[in-house]
Structure 1
């Protein structure tokens, strides 16, 4: 194959992708069968199968048991707003993750003591294996799950205080900044990094979609000066949401 030339299965996938994009293959339309792809493009069964696998991995089509492969409906992406600062009116855990005040939602979470995994320990600047409070969240707008989050807080900071459990006690669900202020820890900066990866099976089961479909991953760390007091991994379906930032300019 000449340098720079695409493999046959990618060329077929690209043509089918374009038909999906321009509406020639609208949502809920059955994708051409493997035999039709083979005949139309003059390729082998293997090439036809691999082309279909590419479109499925990209989340453009989905298999329906006993029926075939169909074009998925792709809703217009909505924005999950994030900000370097928070309004005073609502310091809830939901508002911590979605700062657009026009969006209302709910969340559920449960916490457990765990040993800090190496990557988490590095972000918190503690020793791997040190005790942390780990909290798993599901965030919803209406009945739709829109976001997952797992947070870790060092028990050397919150242990034996009223805010040790983020979803229990007098400040349950009030967000990191307000909870830390209650124990005289002033959070004054937050750092975030965004990446992407395939969704894990457990994530896809909650958020919808299929394992392997892309998700956006926000690694966030709240700090009091240079001291990390909480770090989290926020997972957002990439085909349904964008992540938008509103940052002050000094």
Structure 2
């Protein structure tokens, strides 16, 4: 039988001690150097063991302070529905109150950003065609709960008062209302969810640890001519959000 990697054995030993309550929630663990001596391993092995437990959600690192037993966070439900965002007519929303819903956001838009090859393909435009690129950080009760990066072709909105999603007469109203105001009617939204691990930049913005599990949703919005009018990459931390998709039934 192959021998277990040393860092995995150390990680399991630390996990057992944490679950047994040797260190309480929110308590700082001894330094990596001290634990390395205790386990008879090198500091790199101990670092990998603690990184493993950070990824698993048992520990969290705090810059300049040390490593702590992670405080459990309530995992709130996020409903993604075909119904209007306000929730009218949604049975699931009427059956339960969606707590932790984003109630504020910060945003920053850039205009005339050339589309990358990937974004151009998603928007059915040419690489280098100009877009409006907007970065969002969504908050609930003051805590970051979701990130999003959005791209809209400037060929659709250039020179219009709604060119910037968060400025102008329809600021914050969403893609559907903004596009309708210039005669573009939205018909379809396509979402492709994929599990991923948080990058360092995402972890910093969401207040989670590097490598934490996140759900990445690639969303593209189409008008009645099947033309993509917006595409976005949405990042939701798995430890804080349980994503639920709700669909209506079309009767014959």
User: How far does residue 231 in structure 1 lie from its aligned partner after superposition?
Assistant: 0.5
User: How far does residue 208 in structure 1 lie from its aligned partner after superposition?
Assistant: 1.2
Instruction: Describe the shift of the 1:86–1:101 C-alpha distance in structure 2 as closer, same or farther (beyond 3 A).
Output: farther
Paired position in structure 1 for 2:156: 157
Paired position in structure 1 for 2:14: 16
SS of 2:24 mapped into structure 1: coil
Paired position in structure 2 for 1:229: 229
Paired position in structure 1 for 2:76: 78
Task: With the length of structure 2 as denominator, give the TM-score of the two structures.
Answer: 0.80
1:97-246 equivalence runs, <5 A:
100=98, 103=101, 105-113=103-111, 114-225=113-224, 226-246=226-246
Instruction: Describe the shift of the 1:137–1:25 C-alpha distance in structure 2 as closer, same or farther (beyond 3 A).
Output: same
Task: With the length of structure 1 as denominator, give the TM-score of the two structures.
Answer: 0.81
> Structure 1, unaligned stretches of length 5 or more?
91-98
C-alpha distance in structure 1 between counterparts of 2:187 and 2:98, whole Å? 21
User: How far does residue 11 in structure 1 lie from its aligned partner after superposition?
Assistant: 2.9
> Structure 2, unaligned stretches of length 5 or more?
89-96
User: How far does residue 206 in structure 1 lie from its aligned partner after superposition?
Assistant: 2.5
C-alpha distance in structure 1 between counterparts of 2:99 and 2:75, whole Å? 18
C-alpha distance in structure 1 between counterparts of 2:86 and 2:207, whole Å? 33
Does the CA contact (< 8 Å) of 1:105 and 1:142 recur in 2? yes
C-alpha distance in structure 2 between counterparts of 1:201 and 1:152, whole Å? 22
Instruction: Describe the shift of the 1:126–1:213 C-alpha distance in structure 2 as closer, same or farther (beyond 3 A).
Output: same
SS of 2:49 mapped into structure 1: helix
Instruction: Describe the shift of the 1:239–1:19 C-alpha distance in structure 2 as closer, same or farther (beyond 3 A).
Output: farther
Does the CA contact (< 8 Å) of 1:116 and 1:132 recur in 2? yes
What's the RMSD between the two structures over aligned residues? 2.9
* Equivalent residue pairs, number: 239
SS of 1:188 mapped into structure 2: strand
SS of 2:170 mapped into structure 1: coil
Does the CA contact (< 8 Å) of 1:38 and 1:48 recur in 2? no
User: How far does residue 200 in structure 1 lie from its aligned partner after superposition?
Assistant: 3.2
User: How far does residue 162 in structure 1 lie from its aligned partner after superposition?
Assistant: 2.7
